[in-house]
Amino acid sequence: MSESETPRLDQLETGPWPSFVSEIKKMAGRKPAARDLLRQMELSYKDRVTHWKHGGIVGIRSYGGGVIGRYSDSPEQFPDVAAFHTIRVNQPSGWFYSTKALRQICDIWEKYGSGLTNFHGSTGDIILLGTTTEKLQPCFNELSDEAGFDLGGSGSALRTPSCCLGPARCEWSCIDTLDLCNDLTHSFQDELHRPAWPYKFKIKISGCPNDCVASIARSDLPIIGTWRDSLRIDQEEVRKYAADGFDIENEVVALCPTDALEWDEKTLTLKLKAEDCVRCMHCINRMPKALRPGLERGATLLIGGKAPIMKGAFLSWVLVPFMPMTPPYTEFKVLVRKIWDWWDENGKTRERVGEVIERLGMARFLRDVGLKPLPQMVFRPRANPYVFWRSEQK
Amino acid sequence: MPKAKLGGAEIEVDEDGFIQEPDKWNQAIAEDIARTEEAFPMKEDAWKLVNYLRKYYLDFGIAPPIRMLTKQTGIDLKTIYRLFPGGPAKGACKVAGLPKPTGCV
């Protein structure tokens, strides 16, 4: 029996989980690049250092992003991954594909690349792993002209907007996430494909405050569906939950973060103090047959979320508590352009919008983009008695 | 490092075609790089961009932010992509003989 070329990587196949090593090995028989990828990775595990060079600028005509250049630092040893560029492909809203589209992507990628894919990267794009510089343009041409796909964002640009599956499959969606995501993607093509800013900017859209795409933590500008009136209660269904032995008092009412619910044991009615409800979705999640979001729907906009690089991780702050979200989304687009302009004017290289706001102050940011400070923007009233005051104010 | 014949001389370039010996840069080299970037013949605005990038790099040792580039030259981003289909980083900076800009993926 011949000895394995990749003894260290092989250990990653022994656990109970799916293994990327097994998947790459499947392709290694057909694609030399997949084999060299494994061999180079084995060396990286041995040397405890990556064998990819830093950087690499490659691309396709008229686009400033969408392709991430990768070069091996040991091309003589691993000639088939000497160049192993990644292509980002803009995913459809909510990641809905026909099998025909998926087959087309895979066929094109087997023709021009390593055949290895990643569905999906954390920004949401389809990731096509590994091709050479000469094959980038013909691969893109076929992806675009034959299969109807476009590249996603990379570098200091608007990254591919992404959204939850929204009204397509979820009764709680308060906005049409799919249409909004598609509309924004088409409206901001220039921002997406031609990097012009201090750093990246991400927009993610969730249909309701459950925030299934974790937009609050993973995007600079989360759009989260919500309602302005009060949630709807079907008392008949509430009584059915109670009759089935569901502990409404402890499972729902006691866990409401703002004590907005009351359970009347005698009359078997659930009462809501609508003004106290913060739309956390807990009660709706626990009693989906009895409780539903309200009818006056729109979205809450937040700002500033990011993962740590320059500074620590930020969760987004509330920026606009409620904005109606109906096509053509003009109010949103006007605001986001103002935010981009402010950030681009004031941001240093590699500074995300949340970091600029932290450095210059939320008060200055709100003033400059023309928004009023609102109670919804703060977590709790502050204990500090000092107030900010500008000298031009009397 | 591979060498490329640019402006009649053998110049060291990296795998993306960025010249490694910025001191040797001259107009003939710029024009030869422009040919590889589908940016030839170079129009007046293309030279304006390249000269601005070149001066900024010699003064500060890095490439300027895009906003500064468009503001100072008065050439908007769309026009930059028309003049250099590879864009400001892959196209214009390469022609101007700047080292490869490092960016975030």
Chain B residues whose beta carbon lies within 8 Å of the beta carbon of residue A198:
65
Chain A residue numbers with beta carbons less than 8 Å from the beta carbon of B92 are none
Q: Count CB-CB contacts under 10 A for residue A1.
A: 3
> Is the link from the previous residue into A193 a cis peptide, with omega within 30 of 0?
no
> Is residue B104 flagged as an active site residue?
yes
- Give me the interface pTM, i.e. the ipTM: 0.91
Cross-chain Cβ contact B38/A156 below 8 Å:
no
Q: From the list A59, A154, A198, which residue is nearest B90 (CB)?
A: A59
pLDDT digits (tens, 9 = 90+) for A178-198: 999 999 999 999 999 999 999
With both helix axes pointing from N to C terminus, report the angle between B66-73 and B44-60 in degrees, rounded to the nearest 10.
Answer: 130
Taking the alpha carbons at both ends of chain A, their separation in whole angstroms is 87
Alpha-helix runs per DSSP H in A189-234? 189-193, 215-218
Encode pLDDT of A59-111 as tens digits.
999 999 999 999 999 999 999 999 999 999 999 999 999 999 999 999 999 99
Residue B103: the pLDDT is: 60
In this complex, do B85 and A61 lie within 8 Å of one another by their Cβ atoms? yes
Q: Mean pLDDT over all residues of chain A?
A: 95
The domain ranges of chain B are 3-95
Which of B37, B9, B36, B39 has the alpha carbon at shortest distance from B21? B9
Nearest CB among B38, B77, B103 relative to A194 is that of: B77
What's the pLDDT tens digit per position in A26-55? 999 999 999 999 999 999 999 999 999 987
Out of B16, B77, B103, closest to residue A196 by CB: B77
pLDDT score at A2: 65
**Chain A, nearest residue to B76 by Cα:** A196
Round to whole Å and give the CA distance between B30 and A344. 30
CB proximity B15 to A under 8 Å: yes
- The torsion angle over the Cα atoms of residues B38, A186, A163 and A109, rounded to 10 degrees, is -40
CATH of domain B3-95: 1.10.10.370
